[in-house]
Amino acid sequence: MSSAWFVYMGCAAVLLFLGLYCLLTMRNLIKLFIGIEILGKAVTLGLIATGSAKNSILTAQALAVTFIVVEVCVVATALAIIINIYRHTKSLDVRKLTQLKG
Amino acid sequence: MMAVQIGLLCGLVVFSLLAVLLRDILKAAISLAVSSLLLGILFFRMDAPYAGAFEISVVAGLITVLFIVTIALTKAEGDVRESRLAAWIFPLFFVVFLVIDFLVMRRLLGQISSVPSSAEAGTFGQVLWKNRTFDLVAQVGVIFAGVFAVLALFRKRSKHE
Amino acid sequence: MIFLFIALPLVVAGILPLVGKVSPRVLPDILANAVFATLLAVALLSGPSLAGQGAGLGPLVFLGEPLGVHLALDGFSLFILIVVSLVGLCIGLFSVKYMEHYGHKAVYYALLLIMTAGMNGLVLVTDLFQVYLFLEVAAIASYALVAYGLGHDELEASFKYLMLSAVASAFIIISVTLLFGLTGSLDFASVGRGLRGLDQPLVSALCAALFLVGFGLKAALIPFHAWLPDAHPSAPAPISAALSGLLIKVSGIYALTRIFFKVFGLTPALSDALMILGVVSMVAAALLALGQKDIKRMLAYSSISQVGYIVLGIGLGTPLGILGGLFHLLNHALAKSLLFLNSGSIQMAAGTRNLEEMNGLSRKMPVTAATTLVGSLSIAGVPPLNGFWSKLIIVVALVQAKRFGFALAAILASVLTLWYYLIIQRRAFFNKPDAKWRDVREAPFLMTAATVVLALLCIVIGIFFTATISTWIEPARDALAEGLQVIQSSIGNQ
């Protein structure tokens, strides 16, 4: 595999780490969701980079485009939930969401 | 030529970093949009114009709009203060992660030989329609799911549970 | 024909809002249940013959252009389709009355149908990326369904579920990307061949591990189970039944099994990993279930425990083990849905989920009490109900493979299971009724009918288990046969 592929995948890994870090340490609900978005970027970058290295850039684009569509729907649903949570608790602090014991 | 790519990649990471670290959510959302923009440009340079165009218009555009709408609808009294601990734990973890990442990636993936895939024929449209047709059915499914989810979550309540 | 399983629910879901505007009370219910009934009929009647021919949907010709649609129906897929349609029908019937006070039933049914379409799609495709896509279809529908009541608890549970599920999906798609990079293709057969040809143990292991984490989270195996005890109790009862009875099995266990058997082949390392995860979930969740006061939380932990059983059986990899695991999947789907639906009946009648408050409801709600008894005994593994046979098969398979420690753990977990189910029975139904339950009445007909059907199935399958196994389970097991050979040869060499 070409060295360019490694660079891209390394970058995707960094973004992955960033996203997971955001999920683990942030407390604002919307910030938490930004973490998920960053994970999405990592995936898209990985897909296109792999397609580019394997000379199947068209298939990879089809995959990436479909993935972005999925991402949009997840974002819409999640933000709808967040807005509803806000209406209940008047706050976006995830520490307030501790009613269930888990 | 590689230099531009590297520059874009760095920008991508930096702006994503900012999106995580900025206290003001609005600025964080905008930072996320910028990093999406950079990713889109990166895709264009990687000969993936469709992905690039889609990324910019949808992620940097539509999703950012959704974020801003949510932020506007949820103006909380007083900001949520992020923990002070994050300020120094983060760089530490990041450095450790980078070192491990570099070592592992070098050893793990350096030995990959892989099956070369056949040369691709046709345009993007053809590939999307002929090879990945069923993905489109799935896309319809996801879009339905998203639309109905939003409908369900924002419905007018006449009686409360 | 196979395409119907995905197309029909989606199309009906699409027109439901319009129907809902026209006639909000009756038509959506009829339509949705008709869909389930139709799918069940198709699956039962024409399924076996289609599966036997190894039917797939090869390149279709649409408007003169060949389209690349590759679906395949084999014994395993058919098995899941039947379970989904059957349980879906009962859930649909139950929802007619139960969802009255939640409002907007058309949207609810639309989401339920979309979730079904997603699950059906998942079992019919032959392509890694499409597995991911249909997984997401069902998942997004489930996020909205968990939060459907729009109360504080539901929203909190749904949000946590969404976050964890999104991370799981990310891991899954990353693994798919890596496999695409290694082998240049996405469909099961090609990727499997490519991997075997390449011999890249480290990267394969990485991909397998990523899948294990991702699908393990969807199936709620310990240590990836954190979302389930909150999500299942907070959701409306029919949705709890759908999640526990169907979604964790289809998007978790089916996907895991299919990919591991068809793409990677069940190596000894994988088998051990699955068995350990299975046994830990089985025992730990059973212990956790003992301390619960909320009936639905207890049922939720029980689901995690039973999923452990299924994974243990399948992970063992011997033909008998897989048979037991798949049979238990069927039995648990029936019994657990039954129990969750009943908890909904109790909640609707008595207004509580707290076991310490319910006392002696059996006189007031005889049908619910009886069906709950059947469901509890089934999962606890009491003969001659269906759960007993599937658990027995798993234990026998473990003993045959000389894994005595695991067998012992399975028996221990069974005892624990029996214990906490008896607690439910005693607290909720026996004892003398409290005065406050004076006005409690049995649940409406459609709700009880649905649960009676499930209970009857538990009994009938328990009695006729050999027939059930040979007709539905063995073809499913045989469809997974390729992956078996890897472990067969390794056991033979010991």
Q: What is the ipTM metric for this complex?
A: 0.93
Nearest to C14 by CA among C111, C116, C140: C111
Give the Cα separation of C356 and B134 in Å (integer): 51
Query: Which of C37-41, C200-204, C471-475 has maximum average pLDDT?
Result: C37-41
Which of B50-54, B112-116, C123-127 has the highest average model confidence (pLDDT)?
Answer: C123-127
Residue C286 amino acid letter: A
pLDDT at A19: 92
List of chains touching A (3+ CB pairs within 8 A): B, C
Residues of B in Cβ contact (< 8 Å) with A69: 58, 139, 142-143
Chain A residues with CB under 8 Å of B55 CB are: 44, 64, 68
| Residues in B touching C118 (Cβ below 8 Å) | 141, 145
Whether B141 and C10 lie within 8 Å, measured CB to CB: yes
Proportion of chain B above pLDDT 90, given as a percent: 15
Nearest CA in chain B to A40: B59
Helices assigned H by DSSP within B25-123: 25-45, 49-54, 64-73, 85-110
Please give the residue of chain A at the shortest CA–CA distance from B32. A34
Mean pLDDT of chain C: 82
Instruction: Look at residue B124 in the predicted model and tell me its pLDDT.
Output: 61
Cβ neighbours of residue C302 closer than 8 Å, sequence gap 6 or more: C285, C286, C289, C336, C379, C417, C420, C421
Q: Residue C493 — very low, low, confident or very high, per pLDDT cuts 50/70/90?
A: very low
Chain B partners within 8 Å of A48 (Cβ): 43, 46, 48, 51
**CA-based nearest distance A97→chain C, Å:** 6
The rounded distance, in Å, linking the Cα atoms of C422 and C411 is: 17
Rounded mean pLDDT of C88-110? Answer: 85
pLDDT digits (tens, 9 = 90+) for C446-470: 777 888 888 888 888 888 888 777 7
Gap from A37 CA to chain C (nearest CA, Å): 10
- Per-residue pLDDT band at B78 (split at 50, 70, 90): very low
Contacting residues of B for A51, CB less than 8 Å apart: 48
Residue B119's pLDDT is what? 45
For B100-104, C107-111, C488-492, which range has the lowest pLDDT when averaged over its residues?
Answer: C488-492
CA–CA distance, C254 with C243 (Å, rounded to integer): 14
**In three state form, how does the secondary structure of C194-224 look?**
HHHHHCCHHHHHHHHHHHHHHHHHHHCCCCC
pLDDT tens track of chain A, all 102 residues?
577 888 888 899 999 999 999 988 888 888 888 999 999 999 999 999 988 888 877 788 888 888 988 998 899 899 889 888 888 887 777 776 666 654
> Which chain B residues contact residue C143 at CB under 8 A?
149
Per-range mean pLDDT, top range of B132-136, C339-343, C460-464 = C339-343
- Tell me the nearest-neighbour CA distance from A30 into chain B, angstroms: 8
Distance from CA of C58 to the nearest CA of B (A): 12
How many CB atoms are located within 10 Å of the residue C489 CB?
9
Question: Of B32-36, B63-67, C468-472, which range is least confident?
Answer: C468-472
Q: Which residues of A touch B29 (CB under 8 A)?
A: 30, 34
Is residue C487 over pLDDT 60? no
- pLDDT recorded at residue A15: 92
Q: Is residue B83 very low, low, confident or very high in pLDDT (cuts 50, 70, 90)?
A: very low
> Residue C358: what pLDDT?
65
Question: What is the DSSP secondary structure assignment for residue C352, as one 8-state letter?
Answer: -
- For residue C152, what is the nearest residue in chain A, using CA coordinates? A88
Give the whole-number percent of chain C exceeding pLDDT 70. 87
> In this predicted structure, what is the pLDDT of residue B157?
60
Q: Do A27 and B82 touch (CB under 8 A)?
A: yes
d(CA B136, CA C344): 37
Interface membership of C133 toward A (CB under 8 Å): yes
Distance from CA of C297 to the nearest CA of A (A): 10
Residue A45 has what pLDDT?
93
**Chain B contact probe: residue of C71, C133, C153 with most B CBs at under 10 A:** C133
Contact status of B53 with chain C (Cβ, < 8 Å): no
Chain B: partners with 3+ C-beta pairs within 8 Å: A, C
Hey, which residues does C381 pair with through a beta bridge?
none
Q: What count of Cα atoms within 13 Å lies in the side-chain half-sphere of residue B34?
A: 17
Whether B20 has a pLDDT exceeding 50, the answer reads yes
For residue C168, the model assigns a pLDDT of 94
* Contact flag C129-B135 (C-beta cutoff 8 Å): yes
In the predicted model, what is the mean pLDDT of residues C242-248?
90
pLDDT in tens, C367-423: 888 888 888 888 888 888 888 888 988 999 888 888 888 888 888 888 888 888 888
- Averaged pLDDT, C306-326: 89
pTM for this prediction? 0.87
Among chain A residues, CA nearest to C292: A101
**Which of C453, C245, C426, C451 is closest to C348 using CA atoms?**
C451
Which of C151, C162, C167 lies nearest to residue A78, judging by beta carbons? Answer: C162
Interface of B with C in 82-111 (CB under 8 A): 108-109, 111
What is the share, in percent, of chain C residues with pLDDT greater than 90? 19
Contact across the interface for B142 and C14, Cβ inside 8 Å: no
Quick check: C160 and A78 CB within 8 A? Answer: no
Does the distance separating the beta carbons of A41 and B39 come in below 8 Å? yes
Tell me what pLDDT residue B40 has.
92
pLDDT value for C118: 92
Of B27-31, B91-95, C193-197, C353-357, least confident by mean pLDDT is B91-95
Contact in structure between C309 and C389 (CB atoms under 8 Å): no
Q: Which domains does chain A have, with CATH numbers?
A: 3-92 (1.10.287.3510)
